[in-house]
Structure formats: structure tokens, C-alpha cells
Amino acid sequence: KRKKIRINQEKTKRKKYENELSNIEMVETLEFTTSEEEEEKKEDGGSMVLEEDHRPCTSGIQRATKEIMTPRLSAALDKCKVSDRDAVHLLTACVESVSLNPSDYIINRTSIKKCREIFRKKVAEKVHSDFCTLNVDFVIVHWDTKLLPNLSGQEKVDSLPVIASSPNVEQLLGVPQIPSGTGSEISSAVYDSLEKWLLLDKVQGFVFDTTASNTGRLNGASTLLEQRLSRDILFLACRHHVSELIMQAAFNEAKLHVSSGPDIAIFKLFKNAWKNINKTNILVWNTDKYFEKIISPKREEVLSFCFQKITEDHPRDDYKEFIELVIIVLGDIPPGGLKIRQPGAYHQAR
């Protein structure tokens, strides 16, 4: 049976080869016939025809010499997350759209990749140099671990953004990848970033989340980093996470929900049902007599404080939103009008 199959396969291949050979012969015959007919027409017509120069061409393919990549263009491609391959198609189409010849410009993946790397390096060196010339007296170091996609985008890795801040200055020191989110790995990555930017002697405080990897008494990142710096450092734990502990105690005492993680089930239910809620039916401070009795002595003082603070600049919109909600609950109308925003993040830290 196998022998028959093999014989049939060989016959099929032979037949295919013969068909291709006959097609080639037909094309050659057609081209020869066409050339003869054209020569006869030229002779009969008596018109003058210039003879073609059949000498071999020695010029070869002309290489493009005009640069198209600039620091501004490279930064725009990085900002829009355009890959080197996609950049080739975009730049070619852009050059053609302004009636220019793309073959005159250096547009290929390798050249674009090299140019972008050079521009990135120059920008990084300039940022580093500009920050060093400021010669700040002290800095506060901020860090927070995040799960971010790697370069391939196939999996997520632990990344550690490290920021140094000083009055009127804020600088990203780096986003190193760490093998794990332990206190030892975090402290080593932060220390290396500070050493690279020559800030080891200027660190006065740490800002971090209140997780065990940061606040551990023995192996926390803040403790280990303080030991490596060999001096006392001010610990500035994230205010969101500090307030979370207070609010968590209140929720546990009121038994509003059973805590099984960072999310709150009752808040999640409220967010999902938001579209079906009447936003104009608002119960204010004096709706409940017990609540009115508690709030009444401090109501005017709190309202005065809120109206004073709401006119200030807020680094985050959620701070301003919180003040607006307090004003509404206390029976007044904030400057922006009476409106309730759609719920955002609902975990305990927010």
C-alpha cells in the first residue's frame, strides 16, 4: 500500500513539472512572436526608432542619504508606543503624502531602531545632567511596586518606579525590574538608583505603602535601606494606607462587610448599581436625628474649612471630590454645583 502511495506521489510531481515546463515554453514562444511582429511593424512603417543601449549598467542601486529621524519625531513615536516596524510604514506613507520620494530617505527598521536608541540615550543624559546642576539640598524618595508588562508584552514583571522629590522639583530616577517584591530586593533597587543619581547623602525621608515588604521591622525595605544609609531617616507612610487602617476598624466595628481582601463587596455592589440609582435623591446631615445630633456642633466649622480648601490647587482630583461630598452631606452646595461623580476605585486604600 505504501509503495502505491509513493508511486502516485511521484506521478503527481512529474505531471506538475511537465505542466510548468510547457507553460514556460509557451511564454517564451509568445515573447519571441511579439518581438518579431514589432520589428515588422517598424520596418513597414518606415519610422525612425532609436536603438536601445544594451550595455550593462554600472551604477547599481542608489542608497538613500537623507535623514528623516529627529529627536522630536523619535519622542513622538515613543509617546505613541509605535514599534520600529510600524514606524517604517508610517514614515513611508507620510513622505509619499507630501509628494516626496521615499527612496531618497533612510527608512528601514534597523536605522530607525539605532536612531531611536541614540536619541533616548541623549535625552536621558540631558535629564540626568540638568537634575545634577540643580544641586538640591535634600530629597524625599518615593517608591511603589507595580506589575507591568515586559518588553514582549507576554507576561507581567515586578517593576519599581523610584522618584526623588524636593521643593519645586520631582524627578523619576528609574523603573528597575526586580525578581520579587521582597524587602531585600526593593531596598537594593532603590539604593542603586540613589547611587546612580548621586543622592545617597541627600536622602531625608522615605514615602512608601504600608505593606509588610516595606514596613517589616526586620526585613522591610525601609528598615534595610535605612541601615545601608547608616543614619536615621524619616518614614512617611502613604496617607491613603494609614487612613485605611482607621476606616477598616470602623467598618469592622459596624459589621458592614466581611473583609476577604482589598476590595469591599458593598462598594462593588454600589458601583455596579450606579446606573439605576436616582442621583437627585440625596439625604443630607439632618435627615437622620442621631446623625444631626453628632454633626450639629461642628457643622459650620467643617463647612468653613471645606469652602476654604476647595479653592486651593489639588494634586489629585479625588481630594477635591471628597471635599465636595462633605459639603453636600452637610446640606450646602459646592462651587461647581450639586453633582455626584460616578464611583471609581473601591478598594480600602481609596
- Whether 22 is covered by a domain: the verdict is no
What is the DSSP code (8-state) at residue 184?
A: H
Instruction: Give the Cα-Cα-Cα angle 326, 330, 335 (nearest 5 degrees).
Output: 65
| CA–CA–CA angle 171, 172, 177 (5° rounding) | 165
Domain extent for 263:
258-330
Cα within 13 Å of Cα(171), Cβ side: 23
pLDDT digit of tens for each residue in the chain (350 aa)? Answer: 566 677 777 777 777 666 665 655 554 444 444 444 444 444 454 444 434 444 444 455 677 788 999 999 999 999 998 999 999 999 999 999 999 998 899 999 999 999 999 999 999 999 999 999 998 999 999 999 888 887 666 788 889 999 999 998 999 999 999 988 899 999 999 999 999 999 999 999 999 988 889 988 899 999 999 999 999 999 998 877 677 777 777 777 777 666 666 667 778 888 888 888 888 788 787 778 887 888 888 889 999 999 988 888 776 777 888 888 899 888 888 888 888 888 877 666 55
Buried b (16+ CB within 10 A) or exposed e, 90-124: ebbeebeeeeeeeeebbbeeebbeebbeebeeeee
C-alpha cell read off for 55: 550595455
CATH label of the domain that carries residue 227: 3.30.420.10
- Is residue 53 assigned to a domain? no
* Residue 165 falls inside a structural domain: yes
- Phi, psi angle pair for 266, to nearest 5°: -65, -35
**Would you state the cell numbers that stand for residue 223, as one nine-digit string?**
528598615
One domain, residues 140 and 217: yes
* Same domain flag for 119 and 195: no
How far is the CA of 19 from the CAs of 16, 26, 297, in angstroms? 5, 11, 101
Residues 278 and 316 in one domain: yes
Residue 246 lies in a domain: no
Residue with cell 537634575: 131
Domain assignment present for 198: yes
Whether residue 181 lies inside any domain: the answer is yes
Evaluated on CA atoms 256, 261, 264, 265, the torsion sign reads: negative
> Is-contact 115 78, C-beta < 8 A?
no
Q: In total, how many domains does the chain have?
A: 3
Same domain for 114 and 145?
no
What DSSP line would sit under 79-98, residue for residue?
A: HTT--HHHHHHHHHHHHHHT
* 3-state SS assignment for residue 200: coil
pTM summary value: 0.62
Answer whether residue 25 is part of any domain: no
- The answer to whether residues 215 and 188 belong to one domain is yes
196 lies in a domain?
A: yes
